[in-house]
Structure 1
Amino acid sequence: MAQYSLITYSLQDQPSWWKPIMKFFGLKETWDHYRYATYVIVSEALKKQVFQELTKKMKSIEDRASYKRVTEHRGQWALQRMGYYQEFGWSVEAEFDESILLWHIATDLLFHDTINENGTTEDDRLISQHISNYMLFLLIVRPFMMPAGIGQIRFGDTCAEARNFLQSEDNIEVIGAVKKILGVSTDYDPGLVKGDRSKSVLFNGCRLAHQLKKEFTDDDKQNREEYKKVNWDRMWRLIRAVWVEMLCYAASKCSGQYHAKQLSKGGELVTVVWFLMAHLGMGEQYRIEEGHARAKLIVAK
């Protein structure tokens, strides 16, 4: 699956004499899509988490109301189930493209910030990073497969703000950029920093990262190191659960004709998820009118 990182793009997309020419001929966007996209193998752990998340939701469907509630969740159900909706609900109640950018920035910052932390569950950490980068790829390169919004405008403004914020640093690497962004105080209104007209979500994403880090770090425990390990573990489980739910939501909201269009070009992970949801009776093409009866195939020996 494809990967697209906002921080990496902001650092690497530096001014050059030929870029205005490409922009004039309408080629820069295409160049950016293929220049900055990378690819990773879809892991067995990721497949397992998606399947488990969908089967849990399927079991909770009992009537039309519960069906609609489950299919409309894009992070809310995961936060509620794990007991963190009050703390982080604001981040998933925004427009979907804004939520993707918020969680992408927070995930990227925390991924590099916890790179040497002992006790972190590597599967959850990598799954979170891979889905985060993949969802940003869909938002920027395959916007027709995502719910309508202003994701590309928000992405452009956020990258511009990141470049302005990091412009004083020469040859800064990702780790250095992450440390500098995380060093920003999030006690103030981001509008005072970025202005009201900007659609940038850089500092709100940083605020989400700070809140996640604070929520899962408790310095008052006697055995601090052991407790810290457990909390990092829980933090990445929460982030992974939110991203899996966002992926499933995006799959269900994409039109079947666009899924078919991408199949002719090699397919996308989001389309495979859409097929799985249809197989489980959870897609937009299904409606539960009465009860929760399901067909059962019995194969005789």
Structure 2
Amino acid sequence: MGQYSLITRSRKEKPCLWRKIITCVGLKEHWYNYRYTTYVPVEEDIKILVFDELKSEINLTLSEHRGQWSLLREGYYYEFCWSIEIEFDKSILIWHIATDLLFHKSDRNRGGGRSQRSQIGQHISNYMLFLLITRPFMLPVGIGKIRFEATCVEARTILKKKEMMSENDEAKWRNAILENYTEYDPSILRYHRSMSVILDGCRLAQQLQKEFGDDSDRMWKLINAVWVEMLCFAANNCRGQFHAKQLSKGGEFLTTVWILVAHLGLGDLFKVEMDTRVAKLCVRK
């Protein structure tokens, strides 16, 4: 699975001797995607999680759900629906920021140890952002890349203000971003539209912490369920030709999920309605 981190990209650009030449020939975006993308294996725990979540949604329509069912099932729909009932690309960015901040915060609280659930959530979160940035054609149409760039600029502004651009401790500069928005003020959005995503990401992280307290296992169970539902929604809404396009380049985990969705009869492409009547033509001599 490809991995892409918004805050890592925002913090500091990696030095490159060929940067000016790459920019002049119009390859800057491709170079950045290559430069900041990492890969992790699809662990068995992720496969089991995806399959189990799909079984729990066997009677649902995946093309209409991208986190709502998980929130309803766990009893937190009204608390967090504001982060789901919006444009899909914006929802990905908000949950990615919150997941990233909580992952590194829990890492500090555990003294460097990471739970398996939090690791899974972080990997799926980074994979969804990887798709948004490097495979936007596989996701529903939106302005995700524009929002992403605006949020990176805002994150860099925060770190420069706190004089942390040269700081190498990931936990410290993530904490600086979270502490910069200790109180969420919706009125700010009227004047700083580019700040809306990072504000909402911090708001979601703080709200999740407040709701679950020290019960991090339940918190990560909810986070992971929402991410898997987003993953399945994206897989189901990606056109077959784009899945085929990526197969010729090595394939995507998203395509594997799409095939599983279709196999379980949850996708739109191969679904046959129960009341469909099939006529059979009999020809006799």
Q: Could you state the TM-score of these two structures normalised by the residue count of structure 1? A: 0.84
Shift of residue 289, structure 1, vs aligned partner: 2.1
1:101 maps onto 2:101 in alignment = no
Shift of residue 192, structure 1, vs aligned partner: 2.3
Within the candidate set 62, 65, 76, 1:73 is matched to 65
Shift of residue 235, structure 1, vs aligned partner: 0.4
**Residue aligning to 1:31:** 31
**Residue aligning to 1:139:** 132
For residues 113 and 197 of structure 1, the distance between their equivalents in structure 2, rounded to whole angstroms, comes to 27
Alignment of 1:254-269 (within 5 A): 254-269=238-253
For residues 17 and 118 of structure 1, the distance between their equivalents in structure 2, rounded to whole angstroms, comes to 39
The change in CA–CA distance for 1:286 and 1:199 in structure 2 (over 3 A counts) is: farther
Shift of residue 17, structure 1, vs aligned partner: 8.3
The change in CA–CA distance for 1:194 and 1:162 in structure 2 (over 3 A counts) is: farther
Name the % identity.
56
Unaligned runs of 5+ in 2: 276-285
| Superposition CA RMSD, Å | 2.3
SS at match of 1:176: helix
For residues 267 and 118 of structure 2, the distance between their equivalents in structure 1, rounded to whole angstroms, comes to 28
The change in CA–CA distance for 1:288 and 1:83 in structure 2 (over 3 A counts) is: farther
SS at match of 1:183: helix
* CA offset digits 1:207-230 (Å, max 9, x no partner): 11000011111xxxxxxxxxx2xx
Of 141-150 and 18-27, deviating more is: 18-27
**Residue aligning to 1:13:** 13
The change in CA–CA distance for 1:29 and 1:191 in structure 2 (over 3 A counts) is: farther
The change in CA–CA distance for 1:288 and 1:269 in structure 2 (over 3 A counts) is: same
1:236 maps onto 2:228 in alignment = no
For residues 182 and 86 of structure 2, the distance between their equivalents in structure 1, rounded to whole angstroms, comes to 18
**Residue aligning to 2:256:** 272
SS at match of 2:269: coil
Residues 2 and 134 in structure 1, CA contact (< 8 A), matched pair in contact too: yes
Residues 189 and 195 in structure 2, CA contact (< 8 A), matched pair in contact too: no
1:214 maps onto 2:206 in alignment = no
Residues 128 and 240 in structure 1, CA contact (< 8 A), matched pair in contact too: yes
Residues 121 and 224 in structure 2, CA contact (< 8 A), matched pair in contact too: yes
Within the candidate set 78, 103, 117, 1:86 is matched to 78
Of 186-195 and 34-43, deviating more is: 186-195
The amino acid that maps onto 1:148 is V
**Residue aligning to 2:55:** 55
The change in CA–CA distance for 1:72 and 1:263 in structure 2 (over 3 A counts) is: same
The amino acid that maps onto 2:121 is S
For residues 24 and 136 of structure 1, the distance between their equivalents in structure 2, rounded to whole angstroms, comes to 26
Alignment of 1:142-157 (within 5 A): 142-157=135-150
1:185 maps onto 2:181 in alignment = yes
For residues 18 and 148 of structure 1, the distance between their equivalents in structure 2, rounded to whole angstroms, comes to 32
Residues 6 and 159 in structure 1, CA contact (< 8 A), matched pair in contact too: yes
Residues 109 and 209 in structure 1, CA contact (< 8 A), matched pair in contact too: yes
Unaligned runs of 5+ in 1: 62-66, 218-227, 292-301
The change in CA–CA distance for 1:10 and 1:118 in structure 2 (over 3 A counts) is: closer
Residues 140 and 234 in structure 2, CA contact (< 8 A), matched pair in contact too: yes
**Residue aligning to 2:267:** 283
Shift of residue 276, structure 1, vs aligned partner: 0.5
Within the candidate set 105, 108, 120, 1:127 is matched to 120
Alignment length (residue pairs): 272
* CA offset digits 1:154-205 (Å, max 9, x no partner): 0000000001110122422321111111212343436627944426511110
For residues 277 and 4 of structure 1, the distance between their equivalents in structure 2, rounded to whole angstroms, comes to 25
The change in CA–CA distance for 1:50 and 1:283 in structure 2 (over 3 A counts) is: same
The amino acid that maps onto 2:124 is I
Residues 161 and 200 in structure 1, CA contact (< 8 A), matched pair in contact too: no
SS at match of 1:265: coil
The change in CA–CA distance for 1:206 and 1:113 in structure 2 (over 3 A counts) is: same
